[in-house]
Structure 1
């Protein structure tokens, strides 16, 4: 049986990485095979493109050029990492996917929706998440968290973290709009609360939307043959 493809979306500082790791641990405790990956990145070539984009080297080319670079990275990511994992029955948890291109380059970058639609069709070739968690919180809260994380790691803001507050407000509106347009796939999670509460909300939604993942794949002890001396 094919694995399930679950993506996590949201603005900067929403806590996606933390919640992905928590969900991974929950699923692995049930003997569910899990692969964690990210975008941009997730494969050798895609990671090279990631470094180029987040380093700000493509910013002067404009949002559409960035969208094309993200698409190129996504094609390699799908071919080399996501699709093979799903085909062998491994569940894939991905930190960002195509919805981020729609939000960052499409809405915040003012690229025509029809153009983004066409690019997505070519890039995804029918691949789509089974479930998407959109971690939602006020832009100011997310940016404050991102700055705190950067300070703790001695890092500077990346290409998108350094954008003006208006850009991040636009991102939030874009993600919420995506959720409204695709309610069967997307679940909005209030990320402006304690991590344990966010985790509980994600797990409750997963049990409702993908109940097969919340069940152990380990053999039932009662059905195992008894050892005979």
Structure 2
């Protein structure tokens, strides 16, 4: 049985994470990997129940601390009901947002204390950190333009898309700071490139990491997909 592998995808609004996750999932499945595609907030029945409350803005009035706790409750259910079982059976899990979004959105721009965020993260993740995180980097103005273009006619921006451009810029810098601090886990990809160019960069990064792990586990090069 193949060893499970957990990849999270992070970045600002309109960075194209969902499109690239689906492309990568198709390539991995073609190599006969068991692939699970999921998202946050959401991904499990309990977490999906919380998703609408958060993205609709209904929790905003409760303040960033309560919002962070709602994300944490959703994440705990997501990890234990979906992510951990998938990893334990040897699947590759592709998750659209995970702990780094909480670090950035509730921690950095939400102004919550680092010790509070670290404690909350430790309890909710319970050891299930991503093996690899791909951070899609894009200028916030372009990202928001893309997000607006893909939105269905009549739909309003979600809780986070409607915030100020300065806040989006702070989040971009925060994601890049995480990547700089954790280079063994994080890979930054230029999301302003064409979808095909981004696809190529994601494919190279992920399959390169899988090959490195397989070789470290003693497989011959020709056995690596």
TM-score (norm 1): 0.90
Q: Provide the secondary structure at the position in 2 that maps to 1:189.
A: strand
For 1:15, the equivalent position in structure 2 comes to: 16
Cα distance, 1:108 vs structure 2:
1.0
**Is 1:191–1:198's contact at 8 Å kept on the other side of the alignment?**
yes
Question: Is the counterpart of residue 100 in structure 1 residue 120 in structure 2?
Answer: no
CA–CA distance in structure 2, aligned partners of residues 199 and 94 of structure 1: 16
> How many residues are paired up?
214
* 1:27-76 deviation per Cα after TM superposition (whole angstroms, max 9, x unaligned): 01111110000000000110010010001000011111111000000000
CA–CA distance in structure 1, aligned partners of residues 14 and 6 of structure 2: 23
Please identify the structure whose Cα radius of gyration is greater. 1
Cα distance, 1:178 vs structure 2:
0.6
TM-score (norm 2): 0.92
Where in structure 1 are there 5+ consecutive unaligned residues? 216-229
CA–CA distance in structure 1, aligned partners of residues 115 and 93 of structure 2: 28
**Is 1:207–1:213's contact at 8 Å kept on the other side of the alignment?**
no
CA–CA distance in structure 1, aligned partners of residues 153 and 178 of structure 2: 32
The two structures, once aligned, show a CA RMSD in angstroms of 1.5
For 2:171, the equivalent position in structure 1 comes to: 171
Question: Is the counterpart of residue 205 in structure 1 residue 205 in structure 2?
Answer: yes
CA–CA distance in structure 2, aligned partners of residues 210 and 136 of structure 1: 22
CA–CA distance in structure 1, aligned partners of residues 167 and 49 of structure 2: 25
Cα distance, 1:210 vs structure 2:
2.1
For 1:6, the equivalent position in structure 2 comes to: 7
* 1:64-103 deviation per Cα after TM superposition (whole angstroms, max 9, x unaligned): 1111000000000011110111111111000000100001
- Relative to structure 1, the CA distance from residue 158 to residue 213 in structure 2 (aligned partners, 3 Å threshold; closer, same or farther) is farther
Alignment of 1:128-207 (within 5 A): 128-150=129-151, 152=152, 154-207=154-207
CA–CA distance in structure 2, aligned partners of residues 213 and 182 of structure 1: 18
For 1:38, the equivalent position in structure 2 comes to: 39
CA–CA distance in structure 1, aligned partners of residues 172 and 64 of structure 2: 18
- Relative to structure 1, the CA distance from residue 24 to residue 154 in structure 2 (aligned partners, 3 Å threshold; closer, same or farther) is farther
Where in structure 2 are there 5+ consecutive unaligned residues? 216-225
For 2:220, the equivalent position in structure 1 comes to: none
Cα distance, 1:212 vs structure 2:
6.6
For 1:221, the equivalent position in structure 2 comes to: none
**Shift >6 Å, 4+ stretches:** 212-215
Cα distance, 1:214 vs structure 2:
9.4
CA–CA distance in structure 2, aligned partners of residues 55 and 212 of structure 1: 41
Q: Provide the secondary structure at the position in 1 that maps to 2:110.
A: coil
**Is 1:27–1:214's contact at 8 Å kept on the other side of the alignment?**
no
Question: Is the counterpart of residue 52 in structure 1 residue 82 in structure 2?
Answer: no
